[in-house]
Amino acid sequence: MAETASNKLPLGSKAADFELPDAVTANLYSLEDVRGEKGTVIMFICNHCPFVKHVVDEMVRVANDYRVLGFGFAAISSNDVEQYPEDHPDLMWQFARKHNFTFPYLYDRDQAVAWDYKAECTPDFYVFDEDLALIYHGQLDSSRPGNGIPVNGRELREALDAILNSRPVPGPQKPSVGCGIKWKYRP
């Protein structure tokens, strides 16, 4: 399986707004709709990626643990569904239900949101503070399929804990590694 690392997005970058349909409810969600009082986590994922499948249950646990503490969460799939039909919205809702998502699973049909966030791989995690400034961009943790390291969400949890405790996010921030986003074309 090919590995792609996430791009560097400068810390302090403002979260890009969006309005995308949720694959489960068909409701439209904007950044403001998913924004949390303490911070906001935007996760680029897809259905078919083995890296996503490896961490999805911990990703949901992190969301459940921190949602009640004032964080907003949204997952976004931006893959080209003509090339990768297993990532189609008709199957996204099944994936979300199977894994008990408690957050919207949004479909980025034209890939504009992935482009705005400079997303490159799945999974990829972006943590924004209460002012929607980027304070963390990278991996959930160091676990990868087959590397024997347990999935525990350590790096993402540390970033969220840093916000809760009004302290800087511990460094260095390691890029996420996963499947490359399946682009229709690159502008």
pLDDT in tens, 55-96: 999 999 999 999 999 999 999 999 999 999 999 999 999 999
33: how many CB neighbours lie within 10 A of its CB?
Answer: 15
Residue type for position 53: K
- Domains, in order of start, for the chain: 4-180 (3.40.30.10)
pLDDT digits (tens, 9 = 90+) for 29-50: 999 999 999 999 999 999 999 9
39 beta partners: 71, 129
Q: What's the pTM?
A: 0.96
Cβ-based burial of 185 (10 A; exposed 0-12, middle 13-18, buried ≥19): exposed
